[in-house]
Amino acid sequence: MTLPSLLRKMPPFMPVLIILICMFALNGLAEPNSLSPYALKGLISTYLALMFLSVGQTIVIFAADIDLSVGAILGLVNVTLVSMMQVLGGEPAGIFAAMAIALAVGAGCGLLNGILVVVLRLQAIVATFGTSVLFLGLALWIMPVAGTPAPRLFWRTFGGRIAGIPFAYFVLAGLLVLIVLLSRSRFVPRLLTVGDDQLAAYQTGLPVQSIRVRGYVACGIFAALAGFCITGDTASGDPNVGGLITLNSVAAAVLGGAALSGGVGTLFGSVLGSLVIGLVGSLVFFLGTPSEWQNLVQGLTVLAALMVGILFGGKARA
Amino acid sequence: MSKFIKAASVMSLLGATATVAHAEEFTIGLSNGWVGSEWRTQMIAEAEEAAKAWADKGVTVTTKVQSANVDVPGQIAHVRNFISQGVDAIIINPNSPTAFDPVFAEAADAGILVIATDAEVSSPDAIYVGIDQKGWAEMSARWLAETLDGKGTVVAINGVAGHPANEMRVAGYQEVFGEFPGIEIVNEVNGNWDQAQGQQAMQNILATYPDIDGVWVQDGMAAGAWRAMQDAGRDDIYATGEIRKDFIDIWSENSLKSGASVNPPGVMASALNVAVNMLMGKELKEPATAGVYGNAMYLPIPFISDENLGEASAALEGQPGYTSYTSSLSIDDATALFD
């Protein structure tokens, strides 16, 4: 078997998987404790939010769209969830009701994005940037200053263990099951078809507009799930919590093998891409990079990882 | 009994010829989640220098720094990295007042001391060592009100709406101006702590309220506001200033009618000197119980006015223009706070 055909046969997330393994190895060499059970659990619970967010981002990227409001949706969901839990009480019934409301808020934000981009045909980058300002404004209106604590039951569960296994691992398992279900459904292949060639998809009779809108709604729902994770890991409401996370979700998707031009990628790859972003930050520190260089080195490392991914991913697609 | 004293007595029992040098070794992690200003760079540099100064006291303090533009999860990762490395203490300039409660609890469980600086945190597992942002605003507001003899119209140019430090500062000046019945706040605008937006806001204010007597403006926005006033030829207005050398030079050369509360970048160095004392097992004479979260220890806030402008200028002599006027607790100052 020749190398090109090998590359063609490998799944699109192969490059990022290799990068991820290298990152783990380098982190382990630089700081053996970074592979301890505590550190691994910490890595997962810290970056669960980014994983959910980048999976949502990948769904819209599949259809050649983009959502720059995911971080703002996450912040809005965070303050909605915390405020509603306070209103409804910290008992299981109140918590689940608050989660249902917050999930609906996420889906509603996604629907609004979908209508603006797909139905009103605004440019996705501009429209979702606009809605991000709107969602941040709403979050500030709900909670003007960061501070309301989440009920103890909520964050203790998220940070705790069930049968000796950290709860975060169950959430991760849940995410992976969701990804498998989505990938086997008609939804993901249809999104990819739309992203690959919208006109052709339309001509074959696919309901292109409805598929793209549903992509945005799914993205909003995943942003809401990311909001749950961040609430679990921070135990409080902060309207500005989604500040810089949006572009990380795009970077994770691209690292994971998705093309911004649409039609290519896997949801699983984005999960791996999120972990790579997390590990890059740690590695830069564990290698002892002087503080004034950390931002630069982190940026260069992500760039290098992107280039490696695109180089091999590109060959695989060729 | 502190480990320090035990170690020292063991060494003297052994009749070691060496003094207590290297009797104690501490590793302290410094986390900074935003690198957008020289103030933060100076903050870290001063803390690293403060750590080195402990060598004279026979204590080895090693710093590990994580400083990058990160989101909240990114800074939570900073803390978890420090826990994995097994540092003795973490000093953090936090990106959120509340989001670190669970991860600080993890640090406390691992026996790590956590100190926040520059921005207060709600965690019961951490203490705050820094200035009182409200007191900072009260000080300059009182200067402005008294300089205006308690009467006149003023405007305020604020930072980022909803940011905890900004809200505390707003509460501070509103309270002080409220004490002066002759002072009227005619408008309050947001300049998002951005020098250019401060300048823009000031231009709008001068156009709308040409008769104002005073301006209360924060941080780097003050340089922008002053530029707008100078461009408009308005040397009759009193306004608060800021603490970078560039501005202090302009202030001295043009005899501006200004006064500035100082939020010194040395706060992290102060926090480090407090941390080392705590790591030695000493107890604070007055426990850190101030502030809205009941876990704060407030540092003195210097004030620059015409009376001591010359001293501030001299202290910054020969430094680059972006250097902020600074102050911090020395090792002896910090040690004096402990039993």
Q: How many CB pairs under 8 A join A and B?
A: 136
How many angstroms away from the CA of A182 is the closest CA of chain B? 26
Let me know: does B114 contact B29? Beta carbons within 8 Å: no
| Average pLDDT along chain B | 91
Q: Strand pairing partners for B27? A: B62
- Per-residue pLDDT averaged across B61-65, rounded? 96
Say if CB B245 and CB B320 are below 8 A apart: yes
For the sheet containing B59-67, what is the strand order? B59-67, B24-32, B89-93, B113-116, B126-130, B296-298
Confidence band, pLDDT 50/70/90 cuts, at residue B202 = very high
| Kind plus residue range of the DSSP H or E element containing B130 | strand B126-130
- Residues in chain B with CB shorter than 8 Å from the CB of A155 are 102
Nearest by Cα to A175 from A23, A56, A4? A56
Instruction: Look up the CATH number of the domain holding residue A216.
Output: 1.10.3470
pLDDT confidence band for B14 (50 / 70 / 90) = very low
For B132-177, the pLDDT digits (tens) are 999 999 999 999 999 999 999 999 999 887 777 888 999 999 999 9
Domain boundaries, chain B: 3-131+264-302+320-335, 133-261
pLDDT at residue B7 greater than cutoff 60: no
Q: A245 in contact with B at a CB cutoff of 8 Å?
A: yes
pLDDT in the model for residue B192: 86
pLDDT, residue A10, reads 75
Q: Identify whether the C-beta of residue B220 lies closer than 8 Å to the C-beta of residue B193.
A: yes
Give the single-character DSSP code of B31.
Answer: E
pTM (2 d.p.): 0.88
Residue B92 DSSP code: E
Give yes or no for residue A206 having a pLDDT over 90.
yes
Task: Return phi, psi of residue B155, to 5°.
Answer: -120, 155
Task: Say how far apart CA A161 and CA A165 lie, in whole Å.
Answer: 5
A24 touching B (Cβ < 8 Å): no
Count: domains in chain A: 1
Residue B149 CA to residue B136 CA, distance in Å, equals: 20
At position B137, the amino acid (one-letter code) is A
Locate tokens 């729902």: which residue?
A221
User: Reduced to 3 states, what is the DSSP secondary structure of residue B300?
Assistant: coil
Q: What is the ipTM of this complex?
A: 0.88
Domain holding A12, by residue range, is: 3-317
Q: Which residue from B70, B72, B167 is facing A145, i.e. has the nearest CB?
A: B167
Residues in chain A with CB shorter than 8 Å from the CB of B35 are 295
Q: Is pLDDT of B206 > 80?
A: yes
- CATH top class, domain B133-261: alpha beta
Name residue, tokens 């991820």: A20
| Main-chain phi, psi angles of B190, to 5 degrees | -105, 130
B33 touches chain A (CB under 8 A): no
* Superfamily, domain B3-131+264-302+320-335: Response regulator (3.40.50.2300)
Classify each residue of B15-32 as buried b or exposed e, where b means 16 or more C-beta atoms within 10 Å of its C-beta: eeeeebeebbebbbbbbb
Single-letter amino acid code for the residue at B178 = G
For residues A30 and B78, what is the distance between their CA atoms, to the nearest angstrom?
A: 16
Q: How far apart are CA B67 and CA A290, in angstroms?
A: 9
